[in-house]
Structure 1
Amino acid sequence: MRHLLSLADLDQGTVRYLVDRAVRFAEPRQRGLPLADRVVGIYFRRSSTRTRSAFQAGALRLGASTVFYGPDDLQVNTGETWGDTIRVMSGYLDALVLRTNDSMGELREIADASGIPVVNALTRDEHPTQAIGDLATLREHFGELSGRRILYVGEGNSSAAALAMAVAAHPGLELTLVTPEGFGLPPHILDKLEKLDGADRIEERHNIRRLPRDMDAVYATRWQTMGVSHDAQDWLAAFDGFKVTRAMLSQVARGSGEEPVFLHDLPAMRGQDVDDDVLDGATSLAWRQAYHKMTSAMAVLEWSVSGIA
Structure 2
Amino acid sequence: MAEETISLQANLTGRSVLTLLDLEAEEISALLDDAAYLKTRQRNGELYQPLLGKSLGMIFENASTRTRLSFEAGMTQLGGHALFLSSRDMQIGRGEPIQDTANVMSRYVDAVMIRTNSHAEVEEFSQHSNAPVINALTDNYHPCQALADLLTIKEAKGTLKGLKLCYVGDGNNVSHSLLVAAAKMGMEGVVATPPGYEPDREVVKRAEQVAQENGGSVKVTNDPDDAVVNADVIYTDVWASMGYEAEQSAKEKVFQPYQVNEKLVRQAKDDYIFLHCLPAHRGEEVHTDIIDGPHSEIYEEAENRLHVQKALLVAVIQ
TM value normalised by structure 2? 0.89
Residue 195 of structure 1: how far off its partner (Å): 3.2
Match of 2:279 among 267, 276, 286: 267
Aligned pair count reads: 300
Q: Distance in 1 between matches of 2:123 and 2:74?
A: 24
Q: What are the residue-to-residue correspondences of 1:258-297 with 2, within 5 Å?
A: 258-297=270-309
> Are the counterparts in 1 of residues 228 and 234 from structure 2 also a CA contact under 8 Å?
no
Kindly indicate whether residue 32 of structure 2 is the aligned counterpart of residue 19 of structure 1: yes
Match of 2:159 among 129, 144, 151: 144
**1:57 counterpart letter in structure 2:** A
The aligned counterpart of 2:73 is 57
SS class of match (1:252) = coil
Q: Distance in 2 between matches of 1:199 and 1:206?
A: 24
Q: What are the residue-to-residue correspondences of 1:111-126 with 2, within 5 Å?
A: 111-126=126-141
| 1:208-260 Cα shifts (integer Å, max 9, x gaps) | 2434421111111111111623659733222121111122222222xxxx241
> Are the counterparts in 2 of residues 36 and 62 from structure 1 also a CA contact under 8 Å?
yes
> Are the counterparts in 2 of residues 181 and 238 from structure 1 also a CA contact under 8 Å?
no
The aligned counterpart of 1:192 is 206
| 1:30-87 Cα shifts (integer Å, max 9, x gaps) | 7611111101111110101111111111111111111110121110122221111111
Q: What are the residue-to-residue correspondences of 1:116-265 with 2, within 5 Å?
A: 116-171=131-186, 173-196=187-210, 197-198=213-214, 201-226=217-242, 228-229=244-245, 231=247, 234-253=250-269, 258-265=270-277
The aligned counterpart of 2:7 is none
C-alpha spacing 1:190/1:89, structure 2 compared with 1 (3 Å): same
Structure with the larger RCO, 1 or 2 (CA within 8 Å, 6+ apart): 1
Q: What are the residue-to-residue correspondences of 1:291-306 with 2, within 5 Å?
A: 291-306=303-318
Q: Which moved more, 1:265-274 or 1:197-206?
A: 197-206
> Are the counterparts in 1 of residues 149 and 301 from structure 2 also a CA contact under 8 Å?
yes
**2:195 counterpart letter in structure 1:** E
> Are the counterparts in 2 of residues 7 and 166 from structure 1 also a CA contact under 8 Å?
yes
TM value normalised by structure 1? 0.92
Structure 2 gap segments, 5+ residues each = 1-13
SS class of match (1:4) = coil
Kindly indicate whether residue 115 of structure 2 is the aligned counterpart of residue 99 of structure 1: yes
**1:70 counterpart letter in structure 2:** S
Give RMSD over aligned pairs. Answer: 1.8
Q: Which moved more, 1:23-32 or 1:134-143?
A: 23-32
**1:139 counterpart letter in structure 2:** K
SS class of match (1:180) = coil
SS class of match (1:126) = coil
Structure 1 gap segments, 5+ residues each = none
